[in-house]
Amino acid sequence: MSPSPNKDTIELNGLNFNQDGSCFAVPTKNGYRIFNVEPLKQLIDDKFEGGIKIVEILFRCNYVALVGTGSNTEYPKNKVIIWDSAKKHKVSEIETKTDVKGIKLRRDKICIIMDHNIDIYSFCDKPHRIHTIDTWTNPQGISALSPSIDNSLLAYPSQSSNGHIGIFNLAHPETPEVNITAHNHNVAEITFNFSGAMIATASEKGTLIRVFETGGGTLVKEFRRGSQPAKILWHVYYTNSFLSDQQNFFSISFSPDSNFVAVASNHSTIHIFSLQPNRKKSNVGDSVERYFKGDVSFVRLKITPSINSNIQCRCTFGSNSDYIIAVCSDGSFHRFELDQQTRKCIQQTYCFFVELN
C-alpha cells in the first residue's frame, strides 16, 4: 500500500531547490521550512504570522529571502525580508512599488522580479539598488540567475518580443543584452546550467524544450516532451485548495555535469533528455522523430499522486548526476537512481517530507 500524507499538514505555498540541489525550501501558511536532501531531514521550521509566499535560499547559507502572503501587514507582498535563519532575526528589508513575483540570489546580488521589471540590489546589510531591467509582462516571475562565479548572468523574458529571452551580464552591466528568440509563445521557464554556459527554456505550450549557448544564443539542442501541450509547472497546493492568487512553479534542471536535462510537467511526469551526442536510436525513437521535431527523452518517470489525480513537482539531479530527486505538491519526496550506462531509472525512495519534524 502506498503511503499517504496527513491532509492537515499539506500547507505548501511553493517549493524551491537551492542552487546545487542539496536542500529545498517550502513556504507555508505558517512560515517556511527547509529540508536537507541527502539524507532527507528537516533543517529549519521558522514561524511567521500570516505565512510566507516566497522563500529563496542561497546554497546552504543561513541568510534567506522571504516575502509574506500579505495576511500580516508586517510581511506584505511588496516587501523582501532578508532573514538570518541561524540567529532568527531580520537582517534587512527591501520595499518595492508593486508586488514581488520572485527572488533570485547570488552571494553578491539580490534580484527582485516584478510584473514588468527586475530590480537588482547589492547583497549586504544595507542593500542598495544598482540596476533596473525592464521585461516582458511577467506575472509568474519567470527568471534565472547563474550561480557560477565566472558567469554572473541573469535571464528573463525580454522586453523586445513575446517568446524572447534576454541575458544580462551583472558583472559587466555595460555589455549589451544577449537576446535569444526562444519560442513563439510566452516563456514559461528558464534555467542555467551550473557554469552558466548554457540555458534551457520552455514556453507555455510546453511541448518543446530548447537549450542555447549563453554567449551568443546559439541553439545547442531541441527536445520534445510530447505531442500534447502541457504546463511545465505545478500549481500551489494549500490545505487541499488552490490559492486565489495562484503562483506557477516550473521545473527544468541540468545535471551537474551538463550531460542531461530533466523536465517536470503537470502530467505528473519527469522526462530525462541527453545532451550527449545521439546514440543509435531504437525503431520507436525513429518513428517518433520521423513525425515530430526534436530529440525525445530516454527516460519517462511517472509520479503516482496520493491525494489528487494530477500533482505537479520540482526535480533536480544529485551531486554526481547519478540520481534524481522530485518533491511534489502533495508533500511527497521521490528519489530515483539513474544508471548513466544503461540509461535506466529505478525508484529508491517514496515518503512524505511534510510529515517530518
Quote the cell numbers at residue 213: 549557448
pLDDT at residue 219 greater than cutoff 80: yes
Domain of 254, in residue numbers: 7-355
Residue 74 is assigned to a structural domain of this protein: yes
User: Domains in the chain: how many in total?
Assistant: 1
User: Cell numbers 511577467 correspond to what residue?
Assistant: 138
**Residue 2 located in a structural domain:** no
Give the tens place of pLDDT for each residue, 297-350. 788 888 876 665 567 789 999 988 889 999 988 899 999 998 877 778 888 899
The pLDDT of residue 248 is above 50 = no
Query: What pLDDT score was predicted for residue 210?
Result: 95
**Mean local confidence (pLDDT), 139-166:** 93
Residue 44 falls inside a structural domain: yes
What nine digits make up the cell of 97? 512599488
Asked, for residue 326, whether it belongs to a domain, the answer is: yes
User: What was the pLDDT predicted at 303?
Assistant: 83
Looking up residue 116, the CATH number of its domain turns out to be: 2.130.10.10
Whether residue 61 is contained in a domain is answered as yes
Flag whether 1 is in a domain. no
In a domain, 14, yes or no: yes
Q: Please tell me the pTM assigned to this model.
A: 0.86
Q: What is the pLDDT of residue 227?
A: 45
Q: Is the pLDDT of residue 5 over 60?
A: no
179 located within any domain: yes
What tens digit of pLDDT does each residue of 54-102 get? Answer: 999 999 999 999 999 998 888 999 999 999 999 999 999 999 999 999 9
Tell me the per-residue pLDDT of 254-303, one tens digit each, with 9 for 90 and over.
999 999 999 987 777 899 999 987 654 444 344 444 334 557 878 888 88
